[in-house]
Chains A and B, each alone.
Chain A
Amino acid sequence: DVKVTQSSRYLVKRTGEKVFLECVQDMDHENMFWYRQDPGLGLRLIYFSYDVKMKEKGDIPEGYSVSREKKERFSLILESASTNQTSMYLCASSLTGEVYEQYFGPGTRLTVT
């Protein structure tokens, strides 16, 4: 079974803090994704990566950055957390090709106070 793990299930941070969310997958997938999920808005893509050190902006990249130094690990960074970044963050991975589904981690519920 593919397993995607996220470093924290729940996280509380203060405004202005630098926040790191970590995601690890164990199936050698080329592609990794970061989404945020908000009520009524569904899933919105923040960034994705199709290879080590490669990244592309998604639909809402402002205020976020990412890092992929190893194939299995994809990090989401909030340089200076703000209250409007309070959300559920979901990581996913997939093989390359449109036929392949994405596998999701359990999510990190981040609260910025």
Chain B
Amino acid sequence: AQSVTQLGSHVSVSEGALVLLRCNYSSSVPPYLFWYVQYPNQGLQLLLKYTSAATLVKGINGFEAEFKKSETSFHLTKPSAHMSDAAEYFCAVSDTGNNRLAFGKGNQVVVIP
């Protein structure tokens, strides 16, 4: 089964600094990959997804992620953090053949003014 690793449950970033959240996946086949964001007391919202059309994927709110097959990675970045980016972020990979997603444990992002 596919799986995802997100290191560092809590990530602190200064306002205006680069946001970098790491995601590594294991998959026996070319994967479909997703990043979701969860604001406090809300459900998950799709930020972006990789479906093999382009290795650099742009999403909502200025986020982007780069698929690197050689590193089995799909790291999420944003050049300049805003206070509104404080949320929990989840990376996910499609599980082959059963329409399930395998989620990482999430990164709680804190933005420091």
Contact with A along B75-113 (1 / 0, CB 8 A): 000000000000000100011111111011110000000
Bound Cα distance from A60 to B103, whole angstroms = 14
B46, B94, B95, B99 — most chain A CB neighbours (10 Å): B99
Q: Which of A93-107 contact B (CB under 8 A)?
A: 94, 96-107
On chain A, the residues within 8 Å of B17 by CB distance are: none
**Which of A43, A56, A106 interacts with B90 by CB under 8 Å?**
A43
Q: Are A99 and B103 in contact (CB under 8 A)?
A: no
Nearest to A97 among chain B residues (CB) is B99
Q: Are A50 and B99 in contact (CB under 8 A)?
A: yes
How many of A's residues come within 8 Å of B, CB to CB? 29
B63 within 8 A of A: no
Binding site for A on B (CB under 8 A): 9, 32, 34, 36, 41-46, 49, 51, 90, 94-101, 103-106
Q: Are B51 and A107 in contact (CB under 8 A)?
A: no
Q: Are A90 and B99 in contact (CB under 8 A)?
A: no
Q: Are A101 and B46 in contact (CB under 8 A)?
A: yes
Q: Are A98 and B45 in contact (CB under 8 A)?
A: no
Binding site for B on A (CB under 8 A): 4, 9, 31, 33, 40-43, 45, 48, 50, 56, 58, 90, 92, 94, 96-107, 109
**Which of A42, A56, A96 interacts with B105 by CB under 8 Å?**
A42
A60 to chain B, nearest CB (A): 13
Nearest to A41 among chain B residues (CB) is B105
On chain A, the residues within 8 Å of B100 by CB distance are: 33, 45, 48, 58
Nearest to B31 among chain A residues (CB) is A98
**Which of B9, B49, B99, B104 interacts with A40 by CB under 8 Å?**
B9
On chain B, the residues within 8 Å of A40 by CB distance are: 9, 105
Contact A98 to B106, CB < 8 A, known contacts A105-B43, A107-B42: no
Q: Are B45 and A104 in contact (CB under 8 A)?
A: yes
Bound Cα distance from A109 to B40, whole angstroms = 12
Bound Cα distance from A50 to B94, whole angstroms = 15
B94 to chain A, nearest CB (A): 4
